[in-house]
Every structure is written in C-alpha cells, then in structure tokens.
Amino acid sequence: MKSQDQERLIIGAAIAGGIYYLAKKLGGLIPSFGAEDTIISRSIDQEAQDTTSPWNPAFYRNAPSGAYNITSAMSNLFVIGILNSSDPFYDDFSQVLGIFKQLKTQSQVSYLAMKFFEQTGQDLLTWLRGGYWPVDRFSGEQVQQLMNYVKKLPKYTP
C-alpha cells in the first residue's frame, strides 16, 4: 500500500470515528431499529391514541366534582418548563420528571396535556418522544418511565 493510500485510510477512519462519536453523543442522529425500540414506540403510539388515557387532553373533563386539579397558571409554568427541558444539543429529562412528580393525579396530567396542546398545537406525549435530531428530545425508555409513573397515579383525587 502506498503511503498516500495509507494516509487516506487513516483520515477516513478518523472521520468515520468522529461521526460515530458525535452520533452517539447527540443521540437520535442515527435511527435505531432494535426490537425493543419498536415495542416501546408502539406502546407510546397506542397510549397517545387512547381516548381514555390520562395523556388525552379530554380525560380531565370526566373528573367528578371535587377532583384535585392544578391551576391554569401552574400548568402554564409546567408547559414552559417542559419546553425548556429540550434543545438540539441537550435534553434534561430530570427537569421533566420533576414536573411530573409534582402532579398528583392522572387528571392533572390530562389538564397539563390540554394546556400543552393549547400553547403548542402538539400532543404532549408525542412531543416528549420527538423524532430524529434536532428534535429527538427524550428516549423511548424515558417516555415509558413517565407513562408508568402516570399509570400509578390515582385518577382524580390523591
């Protein structure tokens, strides 16, 4: 092998390694097609489409009188916090998890989903998962963690 060919090979390997490193660091740049990802994605899609889900903005409307709810002002602060938790280079899942841990009922999650939709025109659960970089946001496992947390909450009253 000529020295010029060896140099090109080394440069090519270094570039490929750099691209791989950046893809891993940024996450979501290269789509994953693993079976586990597909199962989680399906689960998130089903939850987003379920009209009886606490992630549905209409769920809270079925709450009986005296149900525990959050104020419009508080939900607006939560929406801002969720939106600020993600940008193209850094996603802060702990910030989102902290917001959801302040919610005490599934109807509060639904009310937050409704306020999120009013302010952004987007479904909260779908937004959390995002897509590919630069809007990859949170992993399927992280969104599944939120879904599991919400399922354990009481429906209307803590």
Residue 66, Ramachandran bin (φ over 0: left; ψ between -120 and 50: alpha; else beta): left
Cα separations in angstroms, 98 against 67, 107, 155: 22, 17, 19
The model's pTM is 0.73
Residue 109 is predicted with a pLDDT of 96
Report the distance separating Cα 84 and Cα 116, nearest Å: 13
Of the candidates 45, 158, 62, the one whose C-alpha atom is nearest the C-alpha of residue 101 is: 158
Positions of the chain with pLDDT under 50:
28-35
Q: What is the separation, in whole angstroms, between the first and last Cα of the chain?
A: 72
